Structure 1
Amino acid sequence: MTTQTTPLLSIRDLEVTFRTDAGPTVAVRGVSFDVHAGETVAVVGESGSGKSTSAAAVMGLLADNGRVTGGQITFDGQDLTTLSPAAMHRLRGSQIGLVPQDPMSNLNPVRRVGRQVDEALVDNGVLSGRGVRARTVELLGEAGLPDAERRAQQYPHEFSGGMRQRALIAMGLAARPQLLVADEPTSALDVTVQRTILDNLTALTDRLGIAVLLITHDLGLAAERADRVVVMYRGEVVEQGPARTLLSDPQHEYTRRLIAAAPSLASRRIDLAHAGTPVQASTAAVPVQAGAGTELPATGAAPTEPAAAGGTAGDHIVEVEHISKVFRLRGRGLLGRGTDLRAVDDVSFVVPRGTTVAVVGESGSGKSTVARMMLGLLEPTSGTIRFDGEDVAGRDRAGELALRRRVQPIFQDPYASLDPLFTIYRTIEEPLRAHGLGDHAARRTRVRELLEQVALPAELLRRYPAELSGGQRQRVAIARALALEPELVVCDEAVSALDVIVQAQILGLLADLQDRLGLSYLFISHDLAVVRQIADHVVVMQQGAVVEQGSADDVFDRPATDYTRMLIDAIPGRGLELGRSA
């Protein structure tokens, strides 16, 4: 970190207000922090904390109904709040770069990737003419894209998520800005791809002396990657300081709450506990409560180990035997030959009754295809899946309906999986109505019971999904999954789209429901830090095949393959030392 006394970016008493139908809403108030040249500063907090709004104010990219209503943003000696839109446009990109969160929505799907990087160079006055394409290829290569010259000719849909993120990094650094704003740049990526992207970004910014303002909700990731951390809650800065100091001795209750909720740090605590290293858990618990993410929790002991699961030897609710799934891919053109893609290759495992079995691996490993076959949404090309001793495939209509009642899914995106035109009551009631269970009064009673089970207030029943937070929507999805009293719940990346605090609450809810209702879970995830907390058994998949499986303790403490070790080592914050308050 630089010892320069004058900061490159200085934010003082920032206030941002949005116009709404209910009147003006102050989203950020009194925010102050600095970023020096060559320094990485992470701003952390849950959704609604104001961290992304603060970054948007720095970039001059607030929504049309938002504006800076107080304070100063000084960059390289000039107050950005006084600049005209044209002057801000010239500054943005040339001196302040941006790497946004979602690469697919921030790349034009109908333009080649190289052309989009070309535009970043031309629009920022870096280059023009014949030298542009050669520089684009250099930038893509610097950002870690192999075969950059060929990749420049491709479209975003031909890139993986990690490759698209590398393209955005190339665009953000095209003009060699003094400051790079990285807004959740890897939140949608696998842990191994995340580590590769962040390692590459760190190496580039260090070599070029570029300061980084990193926006993230994961304090473990921030502590590992940043020099200093700024913690925001409800639009205000509640604590800031050197990253490792803040992690080892947090002063504010909300910071302790973030530390308790961060899956990477919870995973680290479990590892240290198994190694016999005493680490005191944070005094800020993360309870399951209504309106997740809206209130500070009461103090208490935070659990660091999953509850012991039930089930007896040989009592398997699911038996997966040598299943494979082959997809036929169409060739190019009318006469193009198709090819076979073996998405799942000779996979076998069991789910003991009352336990949680996690299937983990990178994107493309085949884990979600296994989940869809388990749900009866895909039929195996070969092999057998038995649920409670009966083959899942080849059932008649009555058999399918019976299976649906006993096996229910919870998907990744709680907004996409809920009908936006249905009220919460209609959403939860729908499975009961579809299966002809109970009359109107009985269904209403059951819906209220389910809402209580997932710790949501009854007044939400008349609302629509858009009126709920992400955590509340996922609780509704869980209530809907429980409506038919299933025995197995298939959780396909069920918490990966949530903030760490809400994520911890949903994991706690799932564990509590399993204990009370005797549920079995098939938990599909790429996030090994989350899996470490919830799973009893782990199945590791790579390129469609199982490379390792065993108890969670065995897989994490004694991984048998290099691939599993790579996945575990990629957990952010895994090497951090945790102090007494962490």
Structure 2
Amino acid sequence: MNDTADKNPGAAGAGAQEDDVVLRVEDMSVDFRTEHGAARAVAGANLTVRRGQTVAIVGESGSGKTTLAMAVLGLLASNGSVAEGHIWFKGEDLGAVSPQRMAQLRGTELGLVPQDPMTNLDPIMQIGRQIDEGLIDNGLRTLRDARSRTVELLDEVGLPDARRRASQYPHEFSGGMRQRALIAMGLSGRPALLVADEPTSALDVTVQRGILDQLSGLTHELGTAVLLITHDLGLAAERADIVVVMYRGDIVEQGPARQVLTAPQHEYTKRLMAAAPSLASRRIEIARERGLDDVLDEALLAPGEEQASGATAAQDSAAGGAEPTPLVEVRDATKVFSIRGNGLFSRSKDFTAVDGVTLDIPRGSTVAVVGESGSGKSTLARMILDIEKPTSGTITFDGTPVGSGGHREQIAYRRRVQPVFQDPYSSLDPLYSVFRAIEEPLRAHDYGDAAARRARVEELAEQVALSKGQLQRFPSELSGGQRQRVAIARALALSPELVVCDEAVSALDVVVQAQILQLLAGLQEELGLTYLFITHDLAVVRQIADRVLVMQQGRMVEEGTVDAVFDSPSTDYTRALLDAIPGRDLELAL
């Protein structure tokens, strides 16, 4: 391909498809019909994907990246259409093919790995049968040999004991195993192009790395081109050859991944880079190595914000020699669950979710608890919230044992300790307006009259940057970041001293994630809050926490200051978590 065509994919024209070009999108625009007329979701997009190449499309929710990918696959919603331009796949104009031809291509030449396996796998059908059906429907295998091919596919994507796993249901798989099953489906037809839409966004970093390594190995072996959709520029830079940055339907920048990373041209790309926790963590690491204190201070904050980092403030306090008093003391806490056996007469088994954990949470600080799914971190949080009772050990709050009093003491404890959960949509009543959702704890605890409650709700909305107009909306009318702000306002309604954030930012885009982390840091400084931050993402920990506790299979395997754990991890498990942060080894321009 000549230089001109490389810079302007549209210049090649319809007939000038090179042998190694799998996909070429030329001046493509996508419109959706609405009651107010046509809404443009993608405007004049141009990109090229070659055989064996990974092209990542990055941007926050609403940027148009998934819409572009669905247009390529012919899977736009019924009110959506390609209004302008062309989509060339191996020299064939997809806009001109019949629905039957498009369906045939999707079953063989075009593959898809969607984001959420639980909504893309049939819960009442065995995993193997779901892959069998795809192989048979697309004419790739007969009924006789479909199952043997399914077992081969599951084995290829790294599922142990694949033949037995093929007979299991989605609920019997972990999140990572379900995602591997979707990758097996996506690659079953040995496609020329695989669209991977946020394939690992909901997974632990170590599971994410394993799945992406597996996907990379398989696609390289097969020569498959990959269109990777992600909101994390750090992940894209590590995994892709070409990065395409989208903002409000426009492609604002594209080029070789390392070039975009080291010399971003567009302000939005720079904003994405500043917001990505993985890249922020890497900048902090490089700044410490080089002794660049001014760069370090900036890296600990969101761009353009005043210094309000809870982590920085607490570190300054510790540097002055004043040791904060523990607000929460956990001593040798253990939680054992009784798990019922599968058979009618089988005995129940004991499962130790938390095993002898000891932890202090100093007043006014942020303590992070990290680990993979199943490590016991959320169970520990639930015990501190007094939702679960410890089987043994003690938990004290401000010197008083948690759960030791009666109903009145429990109500008083609820005022002082509040949670913010991972998914604000499921923790907010969809029938309650934003105002009612924030007001509900005030009503439950007999806070003043209606006028006093209204004033308090408006004060809370202002603290979390929600407008008065948004108070009349319902959760379904808000973005993910706005819903999380509502959840935070609700948690702050009773002026708690401890806020337990259980994966509070893991479901958010990196830009929104950075905004919420900055909001939490600012509220901590303003209100003197103490945070227990539960997360699987060590990159986020580096931005917000003072101390970190690492858990594995219910046990505390490492504990210390964030700098000590990041700079000198003492266990292989912690090193594995750190190594799995996307972009850990990238060289960034500071």
**SS state at 1:566 partner:** helix
Compared CA separation, residues 558 and 247, structure 1 to 2 (3 A): same
* 1:188 maps to 2:193: no
Mapping of residues 378-393 of structure 1, within 5 Å = 378-393=388-403
Equivalent position SS for 2:427: coil
Q: What secondary structure sits across from 2:120 in the alignment?
A: coil
DSSP 3-state at the match of 1:172: helix
Q: Residue 157 of structure 1 aligns with which residue?
A: 171
Which of 447, 467, 478 is matched with 1:468 structurally? Answer: 478
Shift of 1:386: 0.5
Q: Deviation string for 1:472-528 (max 9, x for gaps)?
A: 111111111111000000000000000000000000000000011110000000011
Spell out, residue by residue over 1:367-394, the C-alpha distance to the aligned partner (whole angstroms, 9 max, x if none): 0001111111111111111010111123
Contact 2:288/2:296 (<8 A) preserved: no
Distance in 1 of aligned mates of 2:536 and 2:247: 28
Distance 1:280 1:259, change over 3 A: farther
Equivalent AA in structure 1 for residue 381 of structure 2: A
Q: Distance in 2 between matches of 1:279 and 1:136?
A: 55
Does the 8 A contact of 2:559 with 2:565 survive in 1?
Answer: yes
Q: Do residues 520 (structure 1) and 542 (structure 2) align? A: no
User: Identity percentage over the alignment?
Assistant: 65
Q: Residues 147-546 of structure 1 correspond to what in structure 2 (within 5 A)?
A: 147-276=161-290, 278=292, 306-309=311-314, 312-313=322-323, 315-546=325-556
Q: Is 1:41 matched with 2:55?
A: yes
Compared CA separation, residues 559 and 55, structure 1 to 2 (3 A): same
Q: 3-state DSSP class of the match of 1:31?
A: strand
**1:8 aligns to 2:8 (yes or no):** no
Q: 1:98 & 1:471 partners in 2: Cα distance?
A: 27
1:118–1:136 CA contact under 8 A, matched in 2: yes
Residue 86 of structure 1, CA deviation: 1.5
Q: Distance in 2 between matches of 1:62 and 1:130?
A: 34
Give 1:333 deviation, angstroms: 3.1
Write the distance in 2 (CA, Å) between the matches of 1:442 and 1:146. Answer: 59
How far the C-alpha of 1:305 sits from its partner, in A, is 9.3
Residue number among 112, 123, 126 corresponding to 2:140 in the alignment? 126
RMSD value, Cα: 2.1
Letter in 2 for 1:579: A
TM-score using structure 2 length? 0.93
Extract structure 1 runs of 4+ deviating beyond 3 A.
3-6, 277-288, 299-306
Are the aligned partners of 2:308 and 2:521 in contact in 1 as well (CA < 8 Å)?
no
Taking the aligned partners of 2:488 and 2:63, their CA distance within structure 1 comes to: 25
Pair 1:279–1:388, CA change in 2 (3 A):
closer
Tell me the equivalent position of 2:118. Answer: 104
State the distance in 2 between where 1:342 and 1:359 align.
Answer: 18
Name the CA distance, whole Å, in 1 between partners of 2:283 and 2:399. Answer: 38
Given that 1:286 and 1:504 are in contact with CA atoms closer than 8 Å, whether structure 2 keeps it comes out as no
Q: 2:398 is aligned with what amino acid? A: D
Secondary structure, counterpart of 1:105 in structure 2: helix
Matches of 1:279 and 1:72, distance apart in 2 = 50
Alpha-carbon contact 2:132-2:147 (below 8 Å) kept = yes
Unpaired runs of 5+ in structure 2?
7-17
* Paired residues of 2:63 and 2:247 also in contact (CA < 8 A): yes
In 2, the alpha carbon distance for the partners of 1:314 and 1:45 equals 40
Q: Give the partner amino acid of 1:25.
A: A
Per-residue CA deviations over 1:342-382 (Å, capped at 9, x if unaligned) read 11111111001000000000000000001111111111111
Select which of 40, 54, 66 maps to 1:26: 40
Residue 290 of structure 2: SS of its match in structure 1? Answer: coil
Displacement of 1:307: 2.3
Structure 1 residue 560: Cα displacement = 0.5
Give the C-alpha shift of residue 340 in structure 1.
0.9
Aligned to 2:73: 59
1:237 and 1:304 map into 2 onto residues whose CA distance is 33
Change over 3 Å in CA distance of 1:492–1:137 after alignment to 2: same
- Structure 1: stretches of 5+ with no match in the other structure: 289-296
- Aligned-residue offset at 1:285: 10
Letter in 1 for 2:452: A
Q: Secondary structure at the match of 1:163?
A: helix
Amino acid across the alignment from 2:99: P
CA distance in 2, matches of 1:302, 1:255: 23
Distance 1:373 1:314 in 2: 23
Amino acid at match of 2:186: G
**CA 5–257 in structure 1, closer or farther in 2 if over 3 Å, else same:** farther
Q: Counterpart of 2:89?
A: 75
Amino acid paired to 1:155: Y
- Structure 1 376/423 Cα, relative in aligned 2: closer, same or farther at 3 Å? same
